[in-house]
């Protein structure tokens, strides 16, 4: 529908200008430009929320079985988690990760073919709420932890080398703030990821009459779960903090990207999002 295409255009435009404005605000140390970037991202998030709501209510093309809808929902989840961490930790800096990722995923959702996913009718609500919802929120938490981890390693290297900080570096929050973001993302993200994986296996049992089919997506998901579980254990036990936790969360987020992008789009799998 033309009206939804116009709405999608304005959402992408707001996300793009928000991401660009924040980057320029960092480069030129302009607080006003950074604040304007957040406002643009909030506006884009508001329109994005309306877009998802209307498409769900109208049920365009059985929306709960459309791959485009889920990619768009993931982009929305990234911004939702960013706003939560911004409110919780006052880490506006994390928008340098959130806005570009949301823009990339949202525009990507418009570009892919509207393929249909094999969702059993009787499990649509359950699968949507548990499998997709919990996985997307956990991945959004990982994305924010990824941004915090990259920032932590960069700032830690600068401090240890005793090099002069650039204008961008001067606006970076403390190492402790980034480590706390990592901690919250892992503590909340791992249980949600576990719920998503378990509900996925239940869905598989109804769809393919078996819990595990040795599908590449399933194998990568199990590998990611074990890595995530290891990090979760280390964080709650207090064994890992700072750089080790930052490095591990970067690896785990990379695994989720390989699973979501590499496997879904470039290999033969039950979960393929290719046309």
Residue 231: what pLDDT? 94
Q: Can you tell me the distance from the alpha carbon of 132 to that of 259, in angstroms, rounded to the nearest whole number?
A: 14
Q: Which of 143, 137, 152 is nearest to 241 (CA)?
A: 152
Q: Can you tell me the distance from the alpha carbon of 206 to that of 211, in angstroms, rounded to the nearest whole number?
A: 9
3-state secondary structure of 117: coil
Q: Residue 110, class by beta-carbon neighbours within 10 Å (0-12 exposed, 13-18 middle, 19+ buried)?
A: middle
Averaged pLDDT, 66-94:
76
124 Cβ neighbours under 8 A, 6+ residues apart = 64, 65
Q: What does the DSSP assignment read for 150-209?
A: HHHHHHHHHHHHTPPP-HHHHTS--HHHHHHHHHHHHHHHHHHHHHHHHHHHHHHHHHHS
Q: Which of 168, 17, 26, 19 is nearest to 82 (CA)?
A: 19
Residue 170: what pLDDT? 55
3-state secondary structure of 66: strand
Residue 241: what pLDDT? 85
Query: Which phi and psi (to 5°) does residue 66 adopt?
Result: -100, 130
Provide Rg for the chain, Cα atoms: 19
> What angle in degrees, to the nearest 10, is found between the helix axes of 67-89 and 175-208?
150
Is 197:218 a contact under the CB 8 Å cutoff? no
Asked if pLDDT for residue 47 goes beyond 60, the answer is yes
- Chain segment 224-239, per-residue pLDDT in tens: 999 999 999 999 988 8
**Neighbour tally for 184: CB within 10 Å:** 19
- Which stretch, 71-85, 129-143, 202-216, 220-234, has highest mean pLDDT? 220-234
- Which stretch, 12-16, 193-197, 249-253, 271-275, has highest mean pLDDT? 249-253
Residue 114: what pLDDT? 54
- Top pLDDT among 118 and 143 is at 143
Cα angle: 44, vertex 152, 262; to 5 degrees:
60
Q: For residue 122, what pLDDT band results from cuts at 50, 70 and 90?
A: very low
Hey, what are 265's tokens?
Answer: 């789009």
- Top pLDDT among 86 and 40 is at 40
Residue 66: what pLDDT? 63
104: left (phi over 0), alpha (psi -120 to 50) or beta: alpha
Averaged pLDDT, 67-84:
79
- Chain segment 168-201, per-residue pLDDT in tens: 555 567 788 888 888 988 999 999 999 888 887 7
Is 135:196 a contact under the CB 8 Å cutoff? yes
Q: Can you tell me the distance from the alpha carbon of 25 to that of 35, in angstroms, rounded to the nearest whole number?
A: 8
Asked if pLDDT for residue 67 goes beyond 60, the answer is yes
Q: Which residues pair with 66 in a beta bridge?
A: 116
Max CA-CA distance within the chain? 60
pTM above 0.85, yes or no: no
Averaged pLDDT, 194-211:
77
Averaged pLDDT, 60-81:
72
**Neighbour tally for 7: CB within 10 Å:** 17
Break the chain into its structural domains and give their ranges: 2-266
Residue 264: what pLDDT? 63
């Amino acid at each position: 529908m033309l009206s939804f295409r116009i709405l999608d255009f304005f959402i992408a435009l707001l996300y793009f200008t928000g991401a660009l404005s924040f980057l320029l605000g960092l480069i030129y140390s302009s607080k006003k430009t950074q604040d304007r970037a957040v406002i643009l991202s909030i506006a884009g998030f508001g329109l994005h929320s309306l877009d998802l709501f209307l498409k769900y209510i109208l049920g365009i093309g059985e929306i709960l079985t459309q791959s485009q809808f889920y990619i768009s929902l993931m982009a929305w989840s990234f911004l939702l988690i960013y706003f939560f961490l911004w409110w919780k930790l006052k880490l506006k800096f994390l928008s340098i990760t959130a806005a570009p990722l949301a823009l990339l995923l949202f525009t990507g959702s418009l570009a892919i073919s509207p393929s249909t996913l094999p969702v059993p009718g009787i499990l649509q609500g359950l699968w949507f709420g548990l499998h997709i919802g919990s996985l997307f929120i956990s991945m959004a938490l990982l994305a924010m932890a990824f941004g915090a981890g990259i920032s932590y390693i960069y700032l830690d290297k600068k401090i240890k080398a005793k090099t002069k900080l650039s204008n961008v570096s001067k606006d970076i929050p403390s190492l402790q703030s980034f480590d706390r973001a990592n901690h919250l993302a892992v503590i909340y993200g791992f249980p949600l990821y576990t719920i998503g994986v378990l509900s996925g296996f239940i869905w598989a049992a109804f769809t393919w009459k078996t819990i595990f089919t040795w599908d590449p997506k399933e194998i990568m998901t199990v590998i990611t779960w074990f890595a995530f579980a290891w990090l979760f254990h280390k964080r709650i036990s207090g064994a890992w903090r700072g750089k080790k936790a930052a490095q591990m969360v970067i690896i785990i987020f990379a695994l989720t990207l390989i699973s979501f992008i590499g496997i879904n789009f470039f290999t033969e799998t039950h979960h393929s999002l290719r046309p």
